[in-house]
Amino acid sequence: MDKLLYAPPSPYSAKVRMAATWAGIPFEAVTVDTNAEPALLIDANPLGKIPTWVIDDGQALFDSRTIMQHLNRESKNALFPRNAKKRLEAERLEALADGLADCLLAHVYERRFHPPEKQHQPWLDKQWAKAERALDYLNANLPRLGKKPDGGQIALRAVLGYLELRFAGQWERRRSKLTRWARRFDERFPEIAALVPQ
């Protein structure tokens, strides 16, 4: 059985877990501590990053978007529409959600790995400004939820879960459409909503 090396708080890991579950692809979820650089992770991914998807034959895939495309192929397009225009919309939404996650993680790591006197406030401000712009854009341009989520919508729900985990009370104001969208997603797809970052 394929393995997913992941950490529960990671928005990228959550996206892949949600997508694989939705696509019906069986996998073994193995939690790893990237700071400890365990051999299991480093042997599969020299970058030591998560998520890393290890195929049954031993081949490892990394970068969540690469894994998403693999899962889409394996599931015969369960994650991304066949229609070129709709597929591009889903891929664009995934890129925006991942970019938002990049900004949020840069913010978290700056605060986590540097003592307060060494934290670079202009860097924190810049990352938060990018996140705010992305959130405002998403709030004004929400994807329509249908009978099944696409890869972009799954990525969006995963990063909103990360915001709920790490930035609760700091992003929701004036973004009621976005918070309602997350609630509707959870109501419609409870089996994967349970896999958001935690």
The token pair at 62 is 């990394």
Q: For 24-48, what is the mean pLDDT?
A: 95
Band of pLDDT at residue 34, cut at 50, 70 and 90:
very high
Of the chain, the percentage scoring pLDDT greater than 70 comes to: 100
Q: Look up residue 23 and give its amino acid.
A: A
pLDDT score recorded for residue 59:
95
CA 83-131-157 angle, 5° bins: 45
> Which stretches of 24-181 are assigned E, i.e. beta strand?
28-31, 52-54, 60-62
pTM of the model: 0.96
pLDDT greater than 90 at residue 141: yes
Structural domains in the chain? 3-74 (3.40.30.10), 84-193 (1.20.1050.10)
| 8 A C-beta contact, residue 21 and residue 57 | no
pLDDT at 156: 98
Question: Each residue of 4-14: pLDDT tens digit?
Answer: 999 999 999 99
Report the share of the chain in percent with pLDDT over 90. Answer: 92
Residue located via tokens 């009370």: 169
What's the distance, CA 74 to chain centroid?
20
Give the mean pLDDT of the chain.
96
What pLDDT does 111 receive?
86
Distance in Å from the first CA to the final CA of the chain:
25
Q: What is the pLDDT of residue 88?
A: 97
Identify the residue whose tokens are 């976005």. 178
Task: Summarize the confidence of residues 145-171 as an average pLDDT.
Answer: 97
β-bridge mates for residue 29, sequence order: 4
**Rg, C-alpha atoms of the chain:** 17
d(CA 17, CA 56): 17
pLDDT at 132: 97
**Alpha-carbon gap, residue 143 to 97, rounded angstroms:** 12
Q: Report residue 188 as tokens.
A: 């419609």
Looking at the DSSP bridge assignments, the partners of residue 54 are 3, 60
Instruction: Return the bridge partners of 31, or none.
Output: 6
pLDDT in tens, 38-66: 999 999 999 999 999 999 998 999 999 99
- Beta strands 3-6 and 28-31 are parallel
Residue 156: closest CA among 73, 90, 71, 108: 90
Q: What number of other Cβ atoms are within 10 A of residue 79's Cβ? A: 28
Residues 79-137 pLDDT 10s: 999 999 999 999 999 999 999 999 999 999 988 888 888 888 999 999 999 999 999 99
Asked if pLDDT for residue 182 goes beyond 90, the answer is yes
